[in-house]
Structure 1
Amino acid sequence: MFAKSFRVKSNVVMKGSDRRKLKADISAAFPSLSSDEITELVPNKEDFNVVKIYAHKGDTVTLYVGHKNPLFFEVDKQLYPTVYTLWRYPAALPTFRTWPPVLHKLIGGADLMLPGVVVPSSGLPDVKQGDACAVTLVNNKAPVAIGTAAVSSAEMQSVGMKGRGVCVLHTYMDHLWAFGEKSSPPTLPDAEGEADDVNGDKCVTDEQEEGEEDEEEEEEGEQSAVQKHQASEPVKDEACPAVVEQDKGEVEKSIEKGEEEQEDQKSPQEIMDALLWQCFLLALKSKVKKSELPLLTSTFLRNHMVSCCPSGKQLDIKKSSYKKLSKFLQVMQQQHSIIRVKELTKGVESIVEVDWKSPESACHLHTDIQNGNTSKFSFVPSMCVTCRLRFSVPEETGMEAIPLGETLYHPPEITTLYSVSARLQPLFQDASKRKGAALQAAEVRSIVTEYVKKNDLVDETNKNYVRIDPTLCDCLLEKSEYQEIETLKWDDLFSRTLGRMQECYQIAFPGQTALIKKGHIEPIDVSVASRGSNKKVTVIKNLEVYALDPSAVASALQHRVQASSVLQAVPGAKDKVLVQIQGNQIQQVGHLLLDHYGIPRKYIQGLDKAPKGGKKK
């Protein structure tokens, strides 16, 4: 639920009556928590906030935040603890154990499958379908995920531990965790986890392994190759530490030495082949869109593959073993079945089909990186193109991480400001605000209030009025009002001040320096126009102001409404493009801009022209 970023709707301090109700709800939902523990989580006097958010799929979620961390979240009137709460009280929920490698898949948004559950000697926890439960890792009781049981524990055993076990809602390192202090899980030793293996049997030593080899082979035969790899590593390294006696430092040194020797043995041709292969995969996943097919092979190389080449490297097919692009693409088509190339016109080849889910295109890359075999790469992607598992690249490797997939869009923060004009400069002189200084409305009110109090201008007979001195007269009054107005109400004083300042706005995109621009910010304009024989089209303008890519918006609308769209340059405006799509699609445009991109409604103009739904007569 929180694998992608969410949008905050409101954030308010919780009232005393609401705190008492929340404590009662926590006590009913988690009986193992004592009243003292609940009071420690939800204090009576310390700050405790209620945050309303919209998840990326549109779900409305309520967060209860205390001690700078989200402690509980409520979905569909059901209360769940976060990892921050369970790290303090790990026994609040029934738990399922799994192996550490599975955590990466859970963080990516996957559910916990039953083959990956480690069954202790005491058996599975007693849960019913839909009950809240937690997920821990072997050798550590600190929960790393929270979700609901997909089936009851009795059904899990009856189906032979196959299928879905826990529907995961929240994990360590997701966006809800990032909303807090971003601390790491504590180490809470799990005595039972240290003694048991996947099936609840005791660990064996080297001497016992030979006698029990046949039994292990039968048990492992029930697991897939991937599950055996995930299960065998933790058993040796964590569950039975006595089995592993080799010094890890020596192992790491030997691996590094082997990688260096392997790199030295590579020819420039092999290095260029690896670079060509990686740029090809990255270009398919991060650059090429389905709407662009068929795509000229020359355009694919020039505009997509070359742009995926890391800085400091140069992609040159002539230095590879393929020598020509056509030969390389032919290999990708015949041996790997990733693409399909066709000669649509004589002598000109185009890519007409791409298999983005092809295991050949991704698992080769994934396996190499996961096994630590990165010596042949000058860069690695940040995410596997098939399983979407993120890779972590150590800083000491010096390799560059290239992001894959669609970049998450975050709407800008827009703040209305007021610039000090030459006429009002005397009024702001005491506050050291010169001409052109941009201030928020609250700052303007504060400076004006301070000036009035400093010069003792509050009317003695009626404190709702301010006496006009020569400075206020010159700054705020018209010439015809000089002899007529001697006092002004406070509201009139502030409105006149703001009215004589030049309005501007500050726009700040995440990770970028905030920019201050004069005038009003242009809203995104959505309108319906007629083209040709009275055909309706929807036109969208000013997307660039909010750092929205018009081509990405057009592509998203195409998939939503199944209609053609075009991009056109705005006449008289430099570097501005409008999106035009067939039909009256204002309603779909509104859903896309409001729900998907998170643009506030006040910055979108024309949504009221959406067609009204109703019965046709």
Structure 2
Amino acid sequence: MFAKAFRVKSNTAIKGSDRRKLRSDVATTFPALTSEQLSEIVPNKEELNVVKLYVHKGDAVTVYTNGKNPVLFEMEKIMYPTVYTLWLYPHFLPAFSTWPPVLPKLIGGADLMLPGVIVPSCGLPEVQRGTLCAITLSGNSSPVAIGIANMSTAEMVAAGMKGKGFTVLHTYMDHLWGFGDKSCPPIITPLEGEPSKVMGSEEEEQENEEGKVQELENSFSVDSSLQRGFGNLIVEETTQSAEQGREEVSNEDGAAETVREESLEVSQEIEDTSPQERMDVLLHQCFFHALKCKVKKSELPLLTSTFLRNYMFSCCPKGQQLDIKKSSYKKFSKFLQSMQQQKILQVKELSKGVESIVDVDWKHISIRSFVVPETEESELPAQDGRSCDGEQPYHAPEITPLYGISSKMAPLFQESGYKKSDILTSSEVRSAVINYVKINELVDETNKNFVKVNPILCDCLLNKSEQDEILKFKWDDLLSRCLDQLQRFHQVTFAGHEPIVRKGYIDPIEITIGQRSSNKKVTIIKNLELYGLDPQIVANILQQKVQASATVTPLPGAKDRAQVQIQGNQINHLAKLLLEDYHLPRKYIRGLEKAPKIGRKK
């Protein structure tokens, strides 16, 4: 659920009445908690904040933070503990253990499949379908994830430990964990009677695995073939047992070792690979990255040359260069032929000598189990505005007008506890003004739609020519005058980041048409940075869309700002990009009216 960045809507301190209600809800949801434990999770006096956010799929989630760390989160009126809470009470929920190589899959958003669950000699915990459970790693009872059981314990055993075992909600190292202090799980020795023994494997396979977790995590982010190999065991709802899955991978590689033994040796193998083998790894990574995150079904059929140039090359990590001639395939057509034989995609020659990708199997295990490198995933919103599910990971910032209290207006707000230089929202200004009117009994007795002017209102809101003439305000006039007299600020909130407060109004994205030599027109775009957009990447996207040259130059008179200049009047293409792809409000874009009119073709 939190595998991708979320958007924070608000972050406020909890009220006393809400704190009491939260304590009651937690006690009802988790009756096993003692009063002392309940006080530690929901303290009486310590700072406790309520954070309302939207996850990448659009679901609303309420998170409760104690100090800096999130301790609880609520979704659809159901309360769940975070890993930070479970580290304090590791035996709070029934726990199921898995292998360390599975953890990167869970962090990437995968659910836990039953072939990856370790069955202790004493048996699995007794749970019912829908029970909230903790997930640990072998050799450490510290929970690394929480999930909901999709079967009862009896059903898991009856199914031969095959199928989806748990729907994972939250994991160590996901974005909710990153919202806290990012501490690591404590080392908690398993209780007596919890020896690790997986179905169809030997006990000696588990030795020293805990000390190699970091090595395994590194290997999973590099070699896509290994991701697919272990993905067949953990992610895919296979009809074979864990032992059979390991034997298949061993047969394909021509080795007699198990999947876990191969995974443990990944780092050493990568060091020993040749440049050609490393290029093959990079080629596969760029290929699956492009299919999973960039290509939409609506874009098919897609020229293979376009797919390579516009999609795969842009997925190449910084500091590396994709060169197919240096791979074992030598030609891109041979690589695509290999992918077609694996039934990942289908390529056809729609016109003589020109091949196109006509179909992609996005449900193929190789695509589903591919984990996008974290650095690449963070760049996707700026590159093309698409997510790995074909959605828009770029979220337009939430822009809120704010109002600063000047020394002239301070007397009007001091009775509500505000002072000079405090910054308020419009609703806070409204509440403070209404509070002032009620405290000083300024509502007109004959007509409650009017407010009487006293000396403070006179000094704050009226100029000299009005002071002898205006004795009453209408409510709307009173509030609008207050807002006009306050200093202007604005707050910009980007998804997953702390709000940024700046003085004055936010500058709109400014689009102008300029003339260059030979009366050639150019489109100039400014202020993209204020809305979280990289001018260079916007220029690259426009250049690909309109097939015209685009340049990025420093913005005169502005430090660390740039402007985009592209040949021709491209406002129609730019409007589609900003309004439809990036979902920016039209009111923050100036110059769209200069778009060329599209006439009928004769």
**TM-score for the superposition, normalised by structure 1:** 0.57
- 1:351 maps to 2:341: no
- 1:386 maps to 2:368: yes
1:538-572 CA distance string (max 9 Å, x none): xxxxx9996799xx9xxxxxxxxxxxxxxxx9x98
1:362-402 CA distance string (max 9 Å, x none): 4xxxxxxxxxxxxxxxxxxxxxx431435579xxxxx9998
Code of the aligned partner of 2:393: L
Contact 2:137–2:144 (CA<8 Å) still a contact in 1?
yes
Of 411, 415, 426, the match for 2:396 = 411
Of 281, 288, 299, the match for 1:292 = 299
Matched residue, 1:556: none
1:416-464 CA distance string (max 9 Å, x none): 36899xxx99999xxxxxxxxxx98649999xxxxxxxxxxxxxxx994
Q: CA deviation at 1:235?
A: 10
Partner Cα distance (2:287, 2:19) in 1: 56
Q: Does 280-289 or 500-509 show the bigger shift?
A: 500-509
Matched residue, 2:246: 225
Partner Cα distance (1:497, 1:75) in 2: 39
Q: CA deviation at 1:202?
A: 9.2
C-alpha spacing 1:220/1:110, structure 2 compared with 1 (3 Å): closer
Partner Cα distance (1:340, 1:188) in 2: 50
Partner Cα distance (2:350, 2:408) in 1: 73
1:445-489 CA distance string (max 9 Å, x none): 99xxxxxxxxxxxxxxx99424989xx99xx747x5598789999
Of 308, 325, 346, the match for 1:340 = 346
SS for the counterpart of 2:368 is coil
- Listed as ranges, the gaps of 5+ residues in structure 1 are 207-218, 238-247, 363-384, 394-398, 429-438, 447-461, 524-542, 553-568, 581-588, 605-617
Q: CA deviation at 1:143?
A: 1.4
Of structures 1 and 2, the larger Rg is shown by 1
Matched residue, 1:465: 455
Code of the aligned partner of 2:297: K
SS for the counterpart of 2:144 is strand
Contact 1:65–1:71 (CA<8 Å) still a contact in 2?
yes
Partner Cα distance (2:408, 2:20) in 1: 53
1:113-138 CA distance string (max 9 Å, x none): 33222222332222222222222221
SS for the counterpart of 2:91 is helix
Partner Cα distance (2:502, 2:325) in 1: 49
Query: Number of paired residues?
Result: 462
Contact 1:97–1:118 (CA<8 Å) still a contact in 2?
yes
- 1:331 maps to 2:337: yes
Contact 2:115–2:241 (CA<8 Å) still a contact in 1?
no
Write out aligned runs for 1:468-547 (5 A): 477=463, 499=484, 505=490, 507=492, 509=494
C-alpha spacing 1:67/1:517, structure 2 compared with 1 (3 Å): closer
1:50-70 CA distance string (max 9 Å, x none): 444444445444433323322
Code of the aligned partner of 1:413: E
Code of the aligned partner of 1:122: C
Q: Quick one: percent identity of the two aligned structures?
A: 51
Q: Per chain length, whose mean CA-contact separation is higher, i.e. which structure has more relative contact order (CA < 8 Å, sep 6+)?
A: 2
Contact 2:290–2:315 (CA<8 Å) still a contact in 1?
yes
SS for the counterpart of 2:32 is coil
SS for the counterpart of 1:45 is coil
Matched residue, 2:118: 118
SS for the counterpart of 1:92 is coil
Write out aligned runs for 1:267-282 (5 A): 278-282=285-289
Contact 2:121–2:194 (CA<8 Å) still a contact in 1?
no
- 1:145 maps to 2:151: no
- 1:163 maps to 2:163: yes
C-alpha spacing 1:83/1:603, structure 2 compared with 1 (3 Å): farther
Partner Cα distance (1:68, 1:355) in 2: 43
Partner Cα distance (1:161, 1:322) in 2: 39
Contact 1:72–1:81 (CA<8 Å) still a contact in 2?
yes
C-alpha spacing 1:505/1:573, structure 2 compared with 1 (3 Å): farther
C-alpha spacing 1:440/1:489, structure 2 compared with 1 (3 Å): farther
Of 299, 302, 314, the match for 1:307 = 314
C-alpha spacing 1:153/1:414, structure 2 compared with 1 (3 Å): same
Partner Cα distance (1:28, 1:352) in 2: 55
C-alpha spacing 1:228/1:195, structure 2 compared with 1 (3 Å): farther
Matched residue, 1:537: none
Matched residue, 1:132: 132
1:307-346 CA distance string (max 9 Å, x none): 3445555556667776665x44663466444443333334
Code of the aligned partner of 2:398: E
C-alpha spacing 1:546/1:328, structure 2 compared with 1 (3 Å): same
Partner Cα distance (1:8, 1:205) in 2: 43
- 1:40 maps to 2:61: no
SS for the counterpart of 2:157 is helix
**TM-score for the superposition, normalised by structure 2:** 0.58
Q: CA deviation at 1:144?
A: 1.7
Q: Does 308-317 or 173-182 show the bigger shift?
A: 308-317
Partner Cα distance (1:117, 1:107) in 2: 16
C-alpha spacing 1:36/1:200, structure 2 compared with 1 (3 Å): farther
Partner Cα distance (1:189, 1:309) in 2: 42
Matched residue, 2:2: 2
Code of the aligned partner of 2:118: V
Partner Cα distance (1:483, 1:50) in 2: 48
Partner Cα distance (2:343, 2:241) in 1: 32
Partner Cα distance (2:200, 2:330) in 1: 56
Partner Cα distance (1:321, 1:486) in 2: 87
Code of the aligned partner of 2:369: C
Code of the aligned partner of 2:484: G
SS for the counterpart of 2:401 is strand
Code of the aligned partner of 2:128: K
Partner Cα distance (2:142, 2:503) in 1: 49
Q: CA deviation at 1:46?
A: 2.0
- Listed as ranges, the gaps of 5+ residues in structure 2 are 207-239, 251-256, 381-386, 411-420, 430-451, 510-527, 542-565, 590-602
